């Protein structure tokens, strides 16, 4: 008995019952999902940088308006 056989038998799936095509299909789906998440991560990061730059600009405007001479 292989070490993972107990797990497969416990949940009612024999090792031979999983078709290799199903595994490859699931792998392709997961790779597509990872790609989508990576693209969303890039978009989120870019938006956070844009918001940070906007906030820094507003702080600089307020500091100049209030005549504060410290480097913000």
What residues in the chain have per-residue pLDDT under 70? 1-5, 7-8, 12-18, 68-72
Compute the distance between CA of residue 40 and CA of residue 64 in angstroms, rounded to an integer.
Answer: 36
Domain count for the chain, please give it: 1
Q: Which long-range contacts (CB under 8 A, 24 or more apart) does 62-68 make?
A: none
Q: Is 56 helix (H, G, I), strand (E, B) or coil?
A: helix
Range of the domain at 60: 19-65
How long a stretch of residues is the chain?
72
pLDDT at res. 57? 95
Query: In this structure, is residue 48 part of a structural domain?
Result: yes
Query: In this structure, is residue 56 part of a structural domain?
Result: yes
Tokens 């070490």: give the residue.
Answer: 3
Non-local (6+) Cβ contacts of 63 within 8 A are 70, 72
pLDDT at res. 68? 65
pLDDT at res. 22? 85
């Amino acid at each position: 008995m292989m070490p993972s056989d107990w797990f497969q038998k416990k949940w009612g799936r024999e090792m031979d019952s999983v078709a290799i095509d199903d595994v490859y299909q699931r792998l392709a789906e997961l790779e597509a999902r990872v790609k989508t998440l990576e693209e969303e991560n890039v978009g989120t990061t870019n938006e956070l940088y844009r918001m940070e730059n906007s906030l820094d600009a507003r702080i600089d405007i307020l500091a100049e308006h209030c005549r504060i001479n410290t480097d913000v």
